Amino acid sequence: MINSQEFKKYPELFTSTTLARAKINEIQEMTNSEEFKKYPELFTSETLAHGNIKEIQEMINSQEFKNEIQEMINSEEFKKYPELFTSETLSHGNIKEIQEMINSQEFKEYPELFTSQTLAHAKIEEIQKMVHSEEFKKYPELFASEVLAHAKIENIQKIINSEEFKEHKELFTSETLARTKIKEIQEMINSKEFKEHPELFTSETLARTKIKEIQEMINSQEFKEHPELFTSTTLSHGKIKEIQEIIRSNEFKEHPELFTSTTLAHAKIEDIKELLQMPYWNDARYKKLLTSSVVAKSKQMITKLPVLIRMAEYYKIDGYLNTSFLLFSPSQNFALINYLNDNNIPLIENDKLNMVFGKQPGVLKKKYGIDIKEQMLKYDFSKFSFDEDTKKGGSKNAVR
């Protein structure tokens, strides 16, 4: 997958979910299809991970779909607010309902609540009920676009008027309102586990997991032996069977320092094994880069590491890498290298990798004045080949 033309052309479509669920021949079929050429905005990493090309073709080639899409694209609403029309809107939305939303008084008063997610999944009647409710007046901070898209006012009212809400307000966020029901919340808050381990229960725990799963974890032998590895993040994202496989593995026994609550929450043992077997860790230049944060993202790292290491060697920065460099995409790092080169800014400063690497897009823009999205378009990694001696927009020997 990582060596495919598709990965080079469309790196943004390859996430850990895509790698876990899709097959390269299926992805090739999708990206080479006429439907992809006509409607690329409908194909996201989720489509590649879960979609079926035959079903997609049937839908896109149906007269109903063509009429609906055409109506959306030709609408005044699309011209005014193109950013609200994403693949999610086009796939799930209905133009008449979208028009009702965008032309509503609620949209004028609370435009920040209307995202592509809202337009794709909500109905204006439900939104009006929410926005005009007593609950909205009292707790406007709890009503995010996600709530408008997925929740019902009746369920929200039950939650906000409950004893649990009065006693534990800190556990209730927009995510809780959007994802859970009052019965599930009550089961959790009134449980023995909540009384004994309140620190493990956050708004994320309430929103993302069930009490039965939590009970399995807390009553496990692994919890008794390694309580420090079980945090609210573990409870929110981890599965007991996967956690048991990790803790009982040879890898855990040999490298306990690489396993944190984040590892248990997000990684799988088969990916960890594959990552630890990669040859880079035997190289003095890269040995120090094997940290718990890298292991926690094993699935992505298996794919990204060969590309990032080759990139570092190509640009002669392989002796200066840090973990932050590995945690960001090849596309972002490639764009930054080229940006620095073209602006005569050294990649290596004071014997260390330039500080711009490993920074979030918001920080890059605010602190360094770098619009990374713009730079990634300018320096398109999908069009680059490591086999070329030179490239557009930069020098091969990047260290100054």
The number of angstroms, rounded, from the C-alpha of 223 to the middle of its chain's C-alpha atoms is 28
Give the pLDDT confidence of 330-366 residue by residue, as tens digits.
Answer: 999 999 999 999 999 999 999 999 999 999 999 999 9
Is the pLDDT score of 399 beyond 50? no
More confident residue, 244 or 3: 244
Which pLDDT score is estimated for 240?
A: 95
pLDDT of residue 394: 41
In sequence order, which residues have a C-beta less than 8 Å from that of residue 98 and are 6 or more positions away?
72, 75, 77, 89, 119
Query: What pLDDT was estimated at residue 16?
Result: 62
| DSSP 8-state assignment for residue 334 | H
DSSP-derived secondary structure for 279-292: GGGGSTTTGGG--H
Mean pLDDT for the stretch of residues 222-229: 96
- Long-range contacts, stretch 279-288, CB < 8 angstroms, 24+ apart: 280/305, 280/309, 285/318, 285/319, 285/321, 286/321
Is residue 211's pLDDT more than 60? yes
Identify the band that residue 70 occupies on the pLDDT scale cut at 50, 70 and 90. Answer: confident
Kindly indicate the confidence band of residue 291, based on its pLDDT and cuts at 50, 70 and 90: very high
């009052």: which residue's tokens?
182
Per-residue tokens: 150: 């997925």
pLDDT score recorded for residue 287: 95
Q: Is 32 helix (H, G, I), strand (E, B) or coil?
A: coil
- Least confident range from 7-16, 112-121, 390-399: namely 390-399
Does the pLDDT at position 149 exceed 60?
A: yes
Distance of alpha carbon 113 from its chain centroid, rounded? 20
The per-residue pLDDT for 392 is 41
According to the model, what pLDDT value does residue 73 have? Answer: 75
The confidence band for 391, taking pLDDT boundaries of 50, 70 and 90, is: very low
| 90-113 confidence digits (pLDDT tens) | 767 788 899 999 999 999 999 999
Query: Tokens for 12?
Result: 């943004």
- Copy the structure tokens of residue 99: 């028009």
In angstroms, rounded to a whole number, what is the distance separating the alpha carbons of residues 353 and 400?
11
3-state SS, residue 140: helix
Average pLDDT rounded to a whole number, residues 234-240? 94
